[in-house]
Amino acid sequence: MFSSNIYSYVDVLNKAANASWLRGQTISNNISNADTPGYKRKDVDFESVLREELGNMKYITLDSKVEHADLNHLDVSTYVDSANYSYRIDKNNVDIDTENVELASEKIRYEALTDSMTQEFSRIKAAIG
């Protein structure tokens, strides 16, 4: 039986795109609650989960890291950013300008990830065909 990790990068890109989508939704929720008293902003941190799973070993190739990664550990969830002190009287810590910039940045990241998946599938298709 032939064994291949041909979809390893696609799997990682898919997990990253899912996390990016979740982060975009979370930021949109923060924007919606910018005037809710006591609301604490939420965020998603996929980068540190990915970095931990792939490791920081300097002399190992990315191919090897992705091949040996356990993608089941790449699940992310939202967390409450309660460390960000609020100067507002209502104790809400959402800065609408920061959230809008983060949302625009996340949209660009999501588009780049989905484009990378499309290119990866094109390479696989070219190799097969």
- The residues, any chain, with a CB within 8 Å of residue 57's CB and separated by 6 or more, are 65
Q: If pLDDT is split at 50, 70 and 90, which confidence band does 1 have?
A: very low
Scanning 33-95, the segments in alpha helix (DSSP H) are: 47-54, 62-68
Scanning 1-95, the segments in alpha helix (DSSP H) are: 8-32, 47-54, 62-68
Could you tell me the residue ranges of all domains in the chain? 8-128
- Tell me, what's the pLDDT at 74? 74
Q: Please determine, for residue 2, whether its predicted confidence score (pLDDT) is greater than 90.
A: no
Tokens describing residue 73: 């550990």
Q: What is the pLDDT of residues 100-114, one digit of tens each?
A: 999 999 999 999 999
- Tell me, what's the pLDDT at 84? 62
Q: What is the pLDDT of residues 79-101, one digit of tens each?
A: 898 766 777 889 899 999 999 99
Query: Model's pTM, two decimal places?
Result: 0.82
- Tell me, what's the pLDDT at 77? 83
Q: What is the pLDDT of residues 26-45, one digit of tens each?
A: 999 999 999 999 999 999 99
